[in-house]
């Protein structure tokens, strides 16, 4: 089956309004890398789309975390996913009335589940009815190994994540609606084929590239705290996050890494940090977001920008190559689309990709959800585990509501 795509949220710039929603079907071509060696061909084809001059030509899809590892040059650390390709994009002509509209056609198959979550998702990643890639003890050992690496000077920060796999059959657009209704974000996207789907409800911008203006922007998120139930508690948590020395250090390290990445394709001296640690609040979490902007060299292509920046620094660590080794050694399963980049490339030279966090990967009868966080010297394993739980609240709530047959409740 051809890919169906839903973009949702005000960050994409594909339409008008803060709550824009664009659905695409009727693909006219497909770009796929089933093996990492095919990635250069996919990137070359994306360059052709970006330089076509046709604003109605649009490639929508994803580049996996492992694809980024391969492009970075760490081929020995690459593991194939169970069923996802390393990258896949569908080509659409948005001028055709059947190709672009606001919502998917009505398809409401049943969404049977093999679990029940009576706690409304409060501890969905700890459910006994799911397969965990890391136990709490293994997580604690992983955090300890990273701290040992920091003490040796091997690394300064590593993003450690864990996967939960549910045996469940879920209609991807139903899950996307439930996630977005519970927690509207600027960079939500759903990519659905007949045997897999990627449902990303991401708050984070990886890249906004405008080749005509020779501009590239990235907005890493580093620093997260769960929201308080009452306004006084919520305000206290905002102050706590803004005052956190640990989160401030994480921001500085990752901003420096991303400045270096963009510096590979920018004109000399034309990379600037334009915002640091700006508070961004969503339904379940507060985040700290920074902004790095670059003026691209005249010869820099979109593929050059992607090669310079993938995988994203906010979901790897610093130094990046050392962090990739820790991730490979401590995480027993591939990430796939999680922590990759999902988005679009348009014929007028515009490309926007999210950081594919808060992202579910759907197989024929499985649903995977990863969650992680940056580990630094000051990290405590139990607190970092709790942060992954907080980051999974929206997924747990969405899965529970679908299992109960409840309609999405918009906030």
Q: Is 30 a member of any domain? A: yes
Q: Is 109 a member of any domain? A: no
- Identify the weakest region by mean pLDDT among 20-29, 105-114, 177-186: 105-114
User: How high does pLDDT run on average in the chain?
Assistant: 90
338's CB contacts (< 8 A; 6+ apart) are 65, 161, 163, 356, 357, 359, 361, 368, 370
Q: Is 116 a member of any domain? A: no
pLDDT of res. 404: 73
pLDDT of res. 103: 64
The domain of 190 spans: 4-104+124-403
Q: Is 82 a member of any domain? A: yes
Helices (H), 53-171: 65-72, 136-152
In this structure, what CATH number is given to the domain that contains residue 347? 3.60.120.10
Tens digit of pLDDT for each residue in 64-112?
999 999 999 999 999 999 999 999 999 999 987 456 666 665 454 433 3
- Per-residue b or e along 205-221, where b marks 16 or more CB atoms closer than 10 Å to that residue's CB: bbbbbbbeebebbbbbb
- The total of structural domains in the chain comes to 1
* pLDDT beyond 60 at 124: no
Tens digit of pLDDT for each residue in 322-346?
999 999 999 999 999 999 999 999 9
* pLDDT beyond 70 at 373: yes
Q: Is 408 a member of any domain? A: no
pLDDT of res. 113: 36
pLDDT of res. 210: 98
Q: Is 284 a member of any domain? A: yes
Q: Is 16 a member of any domain? A: yes
Residues of the chain with pLDDT > 90, as a percent, come to 81
Instruction: Please give the full DSSP string across 184-245, using - where no structure is assigned.
Output: --TEEEEEE-SS-EEEEEE--EEEEEETTTTEEEEE-EEEEEEPPSSHHHHHHHHHHHHH-H
Tens digit of pLDDT for each residue in 374-405?
999 999 999 999 999 989 888 988 888 887 77
pLDDT of res. 279: 97
Q: Is 258 a member of any domain? A: yes
């Amino acid at each position: 089956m051809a890919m169906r795509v839903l973009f949702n949220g005000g960050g994409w710039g594909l339409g008008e309004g803060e709550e824009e929603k664009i659905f695409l079907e009727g693909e006219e071509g497909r770009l796929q890398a089933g093996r990492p060696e095919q990635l250069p061909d996919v990137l070359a084809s994306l360059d052709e789309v970006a330089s076509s001059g046709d604003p109605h030509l649009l490639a929508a899809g994803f580049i996996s975390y492992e694809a980024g590892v391969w492009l970075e040059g760490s081929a020995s650390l690459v593991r194939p996913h169970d069923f996802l390709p390393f990258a896949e994009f569908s080509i659409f002509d948005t001028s055709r009335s059947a190709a672009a509209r606001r919502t998917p056609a009505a398809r409401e198959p049943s969404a049977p589940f093999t679990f029940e979550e009576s706690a409304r998702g409060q501890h969905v990643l700890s459910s006994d009815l799911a397969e965990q890639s890391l136990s709490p003890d293994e997580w604690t050992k992983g955090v300890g190994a990273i701290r040992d690496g920091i003490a040796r000077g091997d690394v300064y920060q590593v993003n450690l994540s864990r996967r939960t796999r549910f045996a469940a059959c879920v209609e991807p657009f139903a899950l996307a609606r439930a996630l977005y209704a519970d927690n509207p974000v600027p960079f939500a996207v759903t990519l659905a084929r007949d045997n897999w789907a990627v449902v990303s409800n991401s708050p984070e911008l990886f890249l906004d590239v405008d080749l005509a203006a020779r501009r590239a922007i990235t907005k890493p998120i580093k620093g997260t705290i769960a929201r308080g139930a009452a306004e006084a508690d919520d305000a206290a948590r905002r102050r706590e996050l803004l005052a956190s020395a640990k989160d401030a250090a994480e921001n500085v390290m990752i901003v420096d890494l991303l400045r270096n990445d963009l510096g590979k394709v920018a004109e000399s001296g034309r990379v600037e940090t334009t915002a640091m640690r700006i508070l961004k609040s969503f339904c379940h979490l507060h985040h700290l977001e920074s902004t790095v902007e670059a003026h691209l060299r005249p010869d820099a292509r979109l593929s050059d920008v992607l090669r310079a920046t993938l995988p994203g620094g906010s979901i790897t660590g610093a130094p990046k190559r050392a962090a990739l080794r820790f991730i490979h050694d401590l995480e027993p399963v591939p990430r796939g689309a999680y922590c990759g980049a999902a988005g679009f490339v348009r014929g007028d030279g515009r490309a926007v990709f999210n950081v594919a966090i808060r992202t579910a990967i759907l197989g024929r009868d499985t649903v995977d959800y990863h969650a992680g966080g940056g580990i630094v010297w000051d990290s405590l394993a139990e607190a970092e585990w709790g942060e992954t739980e907080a980051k999974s609240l929206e997924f747990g709530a969405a899965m529970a509501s679908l299992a109960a047959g409840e309609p999405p409740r918009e906030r």
